[in-house]
Amino acid sequence: MTTVVGALHGVAASPGFVVGRAVAWRPGQTVAVEAARDVDDASARVVADLRFRAAAATSAEATAVLEALAMFAADPELIAAARARVAAGEQPSAAVRAAAGQYAEQLRGLGGYLAERAPDVEDVGERLADCLAGRAPAVLPEPGHPYVLVARDLAPADTALLDPATVLAIVTEQGGPTSHTTILARALGIPAVVACVGASDRLDGIDVLVDGSQGEVHPAPSAALVEEIGRREGRAAERGARIHGPGATADGVAVKILANVGTLEQARSTAATDVEGIGLFRTELLFLDRTEEPELDEQVAAYAEVLGAFGDRRVVFRTLDAGSDKPVPFLGLGSEENPALGVRGLRTAVLRPEVLDRQLTAFAEAARLTGTEPWVMAPMVSTPVEAERFGARARAAGLRQVGVMIEVPSAALRAGQILKDLDFASIGTNDLAQYALAADRQLGDVAALLDPWQPALLDLVALTCAGAAGRGRPTGVCGEAAADPRLAAVLVGLGVRSLSMSARAVADVRGLLAEVDLGTCLRAAELARAASGPDEARAAVQPLLG
């Protein structure tokens, strides 16, 4: 493999690769224009600008966002509220921000879908304020040639007009696997790398190769590197197109290929694809930003919809994974200095046991209504005692497939004991890496420690599988690690027999597994664990897995 010097690492946000000139964009720089005369004038101008962008937007998603923003900017009550504030003596810019802020707060209090609109309302307040202050909204660079857009972070309205013929790829320093940039890049089909620290300073003005599949950016790539990555991508595409149906190794060892899903919309669209089920359904969608706990009926309806869409296929629900860093107001969690180490996941059930019981009851009722048998697991399980208590409650609610997420190192070390009376384990590699390597998931500066190829993490996976196997229970992986085809083969070699990933990764993972036999996976796992670091681990398995 060609030695790469100076590659920047980030999170693989959208697959594919491209070579182009990088242009760093700092959206704080706005253009000075004639200020709007008053609140009504500002509203008219902002609405016109947003409608123009909506009509010119390059993706259906962007159009929808912009049209909604235009509607907010035109809202007669918002404008009336701002006007009243101006009449009472407030500065026009402050008045529109305050008026928008009030509506945003109201929406936040309603939770769910409505709360998600709150930042958009605030964004409109900012646009109106800028308009009144004589600042025009910043536009993307137009250097006169196609380029790679590099920025600290990107907001929805910034990227709405992004034309994939002009912007070849996106690299941001912030963001993660589910951030807006990631979603947009995938919708447009352009490669993207996020959480790429130092990108703006180091890449501005030079040619780069953006490897969205691996999450790497190579400054000044050699012809050899470009060719090598091109070959790799070509093989992956061809392989992904060929293999269908249930996942298995070349010698027929079954490995279930499942999807990670977080919304009802995703559940519906994923159900229509070639995947064996949902390995992780994040139930937070019903709880985030809510000032009151969702009613049993609402929960039952949502879970039943997911189960109905998947029929006989496996669906694994994860119980509420809340923490002081996630907005779940009705739980009443206090603020914590270290939310990652605080009352989160299953631990919240000690404070509010009835919330967990209601959720478990809802799963059971949804199962009854649809005639299915969902799998249910709890997040952040740390000890066998916790696991036993959870198991007892879940079974008391009528659930039959009960398991836990293994994402705390103590749980990996004690997996056998934890699974004594439970049915399955699912490893959350993202959080397991965070806790095992003592590196904050939100901090770009320590991102290298969170690399799922870290041999120490692989050791914990092996331990978990061994502990579970000792009890005759299956182990799956539902973290980002499962989406990397070569790492997936290593995981299979470590004993993992189900992999749950974002839907876009399914074809590539299934395709690669179909080309290697179990013996090769075992050998790859050995080599990866023997390495002293993630890069060495990748290099070691490369000859075996291609």
Hey, which residues are catalytic here?
A: 180, 478
| Nearest to 450, CA basis, from 3, 10, 7, 8 | 10
What are the tokens at 115? 């709360």
What are the tokens at 247? 């996942």
Contact 513, 247 (CB under 8 A): yes
Residues 26-85 contacting other proteins, CB under 8 A: 67-68, 71-72, 74-78
Q: Which stretch binds other proteins (CB under 8 A): 6-14, 224-232, 257-265, 424-432?
A: 257-265
Q: Which stretch binds other proteins (CB under 8 A): 206-214, 260-268, 386-394, 469-477?
A: 260-268
We find the least distance from the C-beta atom of residue 286 to other proteins, in angstroms, to be 8
The one among 17, 25, 103, 317 contacting other proteins by CB under 8 A: 103
The one among 56, 113, 134, 530 contacting other proteins by CB under 8 A: 113
- How many angstroms separate the Cα of 229 from the Cα of each of 2, 221, 241, 330? 10, 11, 18, 49
Query: How many other C-beta atoms are found inside a 10 Å radius of the C-beta of residue 226?
Result: 16
Instruction: Report which DSSP code applies to 254.
Output: B
Query: How many other C-beta atoms are found inside a 10 Å radius of the C-beta of residue 164?
Result: 15
Contact 473, 498 (CB under 8 A): no
Interaction between residue 265 and other proteins (CB under 8 A): yes
The DSSP H or E segment spanning 171 is: strand 167-172
Computed from CA positions of residues 139, 172, 69, 84, in that sequence, does the dihedral angle turn out positive or negative?
Answer: negative
We find the least distance from the C-beta atom of residue 263 to other proteins, in angstroms, to be 5
Contact 184, 159 (CB under 8 A): yes
What are the tokens at 216? 């790497």
Interaction between residue 326 and other proteins (CB under 8 A): no
Q: Which stretch binds other proteins (CB under 8 A): 219-227, 247-255, 263-271, 371-379?
A: 263-271
Interaction between residue 117 and other proteins (CB under 8 A): yes
Count residues near other proteins (CB under 8 A).
Answer: 27
DSSP E strand boundaries for 127-265: 135-136, 147-151, 167-172, 192-194, 207-211, 216-219, 256-261
The residue (of 118 and 387) whose beta carbon lies closer to other proteins is: 118
We find the least distance from the C-beta atom of residue 298 to other proteins, in angstroms, to be 8
**CA–CA–CA angle 331, 434, 420 (5° rounding):** 75
The residue (of 78 and 450) whose beta carbon lies closer to other proteins is: 78
Q: Which stretch binds other proteins (CB under 8 A): 206-214, 262-270, 355-363, 525-533?
A: 262-270
What are the tokens at 205? 């003005």
What character string, x for contact with other proteins (CB under 8 A) and - otherwise, covers 275-314?
A: ----------xx----------------------------
We find the least distance from the C-beta atom of residue 302 to other proteins, in angstroms, to be 9
Give contact residues for other proteins (rule: CB under 8 A).
67-68, 71-72, 74-78, 103, 106-107, 110, 112-114, 116-117, 121, 263-268, 285-286
